[in-house]
Amino acid sequence: MTTVSVKIDAKLVKDLREKSGAPMGDCLKALQESNGDIEGAFVVLRKRGMASAQKKAARSTNEGAVGTYIHAGGKIGVLLEVNCESDFVARTDDFQNLLKDIAMHIAASDPKFVRPDDVTPEDLDREREIYKAQAAATGKPAAVVEKIAEGKMAKFYEEVCLLEQPFIKDQSIAVKELIAQKVGKLGENITVRRFARFKVGDPNWTVATTKLVEAAAE
């Protein structure tokens, strides 16, 4: 079977490169797969980025950098640690820009945890019981109540976990997908280790950390 090669305009490749941060060659291939549709190509790159990130997820991240973000007016401040595999990558513009973007996102979206696995059992039990009670009040069968509660738990994770939140600068992707794109581009595992968020006058400041299970690369 002969595969027809779709001719892609160079400007379209450049636009996708700017939108996704992926290498030019990957952008060209994604556009060819989507017949020149930039949004479809972006979805292709997102899927590949997540697959690449999953393959590298077990690799140790002992390097990285600490970044800060102070919101205009100095009312909100964020301190953030993001890790990678090498000091070389930690010093690249791509990694430093990722650090700034995530810190800014934390300032705007106020997550309470890094990952769903970091949510405390107490918080999980409290939220699940609330959602079950709400669903039960509608008079639906127990099995339906459970499904409704689980659906709301997924939304809860999206609201309070940094990696699950829609990225503040591009609501079409989650923060974990933003990181996955950089993993695909830089070729190293990247993890968010911890962050702290402070707001003037608010006693409920946030400090979140995650314990990642790391293994040496194969």
pLDDT given for residue 8 in this prediction: 78
pLDDT given for residue 34 in this prediction: 86
Delimit the CATH 1.10.286.20 region(s) of the chain: 120-157
The domain 60-119+161-218 is classified under which CATH number: 3.30.70.1400, 3.40.50.620, 3.30.479.20, 3.30.470.20? Answer: 3.30.479.20
The Cα 207–Cα 191 span in angstroms is: 17
Q: What is the mean pLDDT of each run of 10 residues along the chain (218 residues)?
A: 58 78 75 86 75 68 93 92 95 96 96 93 88 84 81 87 95 92 88 95 88 44
Class of CATH domain 120-157? mainly alpha
pTM confidence score: 0.72
Instruction: Let me know: does 31 contact 7? Beta carbons within 8 Å.
Output: no
Residue 217, CB half-sphere, CA atoms under 13 Å: how many?
13
- What does DSSP assign to residue 117? G
- Max intra-chain CA distance, the chain: 67
Which among 24, 42, 26, 25 has a CA at the least distance from the CA of 34? 42
Delimit the CATH 1.10.8.10 region(s) of the chain: 1-56
Delimit the CATH 3.30.479.20 region(s) of the chain: 60-119+161-218
pLDDT given for residue 218 in this prediction: 38
Output the CATH code of domain 1-56. 1.10.8.10
Q: Where are the beta strands (DSSP E) in the chain?
A: 63-70, 76-84, 166-167, 170-174, 191-199, 206-209
